[in-house]
Structure formats: structure tokens, C-alpha cells
Amino acid sequence: MKWNDFFKKRLWYNNSSLVQLLGLCPVLAMTTNVVNSIGLGIATTFILTITNTIISMFKYIIPKNIRIPIFMLIVSSTVTCIEMILHAYQFNLYKSLGVFIPLIVTNCIVIGRAESIAYQSSILVSFFDGLLTGLGSTLAMFCMGSIREILGHGTFLFGINKIFNILENNYFFTILNRNEIMILAVSPPGGFLILGFLIAFKNFLDKRKNKKYECKKTL
């Protein structure tokens, strides 16, 4: 039951992008199509998991007064390593993510989780915390990316061959005609609008669930 709560809290009730509103810069900038948002989400999840585990391993060695510089050191070196690996083995994805991989260093989710969870909890807890927080962020980015891509480009999963090299490059779905698309959805103001609508929709779902729960209680 405790683990169930742990999962639900990180994936839905305390989602880092939709509730805590952390790390919005990549969320708004990279979600113009699904593949980019999944790619950045997976990279963020990897980095969160690795840094959380490392920091949790060294939590008795790191003194309290210089913990933030050491966190930054660990986070930035991990990000550099991931960037080089992506550059070497997933070149197409690296090209489309571009400047946003180094920017994960300044993503507030990573340093926030390191400070609040990894520095105080055991290795197992911080590993799963990193994994689930990253997955929650990826989920939010996936929703935003699919809405924006369908409305703005009329396609879905365009360029999926950048992630799965086995697929061919014409493997995507065309949903809307080229004349029916809304360019606003791909532009930055459209990103803010859609994020607002998503947050509102999530709150609506939560409120409805709460109401049902209360109704049951009173009956």
C-alpha cells in the first residue's frame, strides 16, 4: 500500500510538470512534436535516476555546508556524459534535441529532487524516486507533445525512427490535413495555452474524483 502511494504521488498527484511546475523551460520549448518530448523526457529520467543514486550513495561523505556545489558538479558531469553518449550513438536524436541536453543541468527538477529526497533517503528510495519523477514529467511532456503535434503539424509520431532505428522514416500517422492545422499550437504562446488547459483538465479530474469520494462517505 505504501509503495502504491509512492507511485501515485510521483506520477499523478504531485507530478513535477503539472503540479509542482518545475523545469518548464524544456517542457514548453521541446514539446512541438512527440518524438522530441519523449527523447528529452527519457534523457531527463536517466539523469534524474543516476544523480539521485550517486548523491544518495555519497550522502554521509558530503558535508552539509558545501552540498549544493557538489550536487551541481555531479549533475553537470552526468549530463555531459549523457550528451556525449547520445552524440555518439543516437546522432539524429541528438541533432533534434540540440541545445536542450546541456540545459538539463539547470532543470530545477534534478537539483530539487537531489536536495529534498536523495540527500535524506536510502539508495533504493532515491533510485525509484528519480525514475518515477522523470516518468511523470515524461508523461506530461508526451501529452503536451501529442496535442501540439496533432493540432500544429497534423501528424502523430513524426520522426519516430530517431528513437527506434529499426523503423523506417515514413512510419507516422497523418491525422489532420495540411489546410486544417493551427499554427498557434506549435508557437510559444500556444505552448503556454495548452499547458494551462492540461493543468486545468488535471485539476478537473482530481476534483471530480474527490467529489465522488465525498458522496460515498456521506451515503
Partner 1 sequence: MKHFIKILKSSFIMSIFSILSLCVVEYINYITKNQITNQKEQEKQIFIQQVIPHDLYNTYKVKKYLVSNSLLGDAKKHSLWMLLKNETVKIAIVESTAPDGYSGSIYILVAAYLNGKIIGVRVLSHKETPGIGDKIDLSISNWITKFKNLSVKNVEDNHVLLKKYGGEIEQFTGATITPQAVTNAIKRTVIFIKKIPLIFSLER
Interface contacts to partner 1, rule CB under 8 A: 32, 61-63, 65-66, 69-70, 73-74, 76-77, 80-81, 84-85, 87-89, 91, 152-153, 181, 183, 186-187
Min dist. Cβ of residue 65 to partner 1 (A): 7
Min dist. Cβ of residue 45 to partner 1 (A): 19
Min dist. Cβ of residue 214 to partner 1 (A): 45
Q: What Rg, from alpha-carbon coordinates, does the chain have?
A: 19
Nearer to partner 1, 32 or 49 (CB): 32
Cell, residue 64: 552539509
User: Would you say 29 and 153 are in contact if contact means Cβ atoms under 8 Å apart?
Assistant: no
User: Would you say 152 and 27 are in contact if contact means Cβ atoms under 8 Å apart?
Assistant: no
Nearer to partner 1, 83 or 135 (CB): 83
Measure the CA–CA gap between 1 and 160, rounded to whole angstroms: 37
Measure the CA–CA gap between 3 and 210, rounded to whole angstroms: 21
Nearer to partner 1, 32 or 52 (CB): 32
Nearer to partner 1, 95 or 212 (CB): 95
Min dist. Cβ of residue 66 to partner 1 (A): 5
Measure the CA–CA gap between 23 and 119, rounded to whole angstroms: 20
What are the residues whose beta carbons fall under 8 Å from the beta carbon of 2, sequence distance 6 or more?
Answer: none
Kind and range of the H or E element at 174?
strand 173-174
Q: Please report the DSSP string for 105-131 in residue order.
A: GG-HHHHHHIIIIITTS-HHHHHHHHH
Nearer to partner 1, 123 or 186 (CB): 186
Min dist. Cβ of residue 56 to partner 1 (A): 15
Nearer to partner 1, 106 or 187 (CB): 187
Min dist. Cβ of residue 137 to partner 1 (A): 24
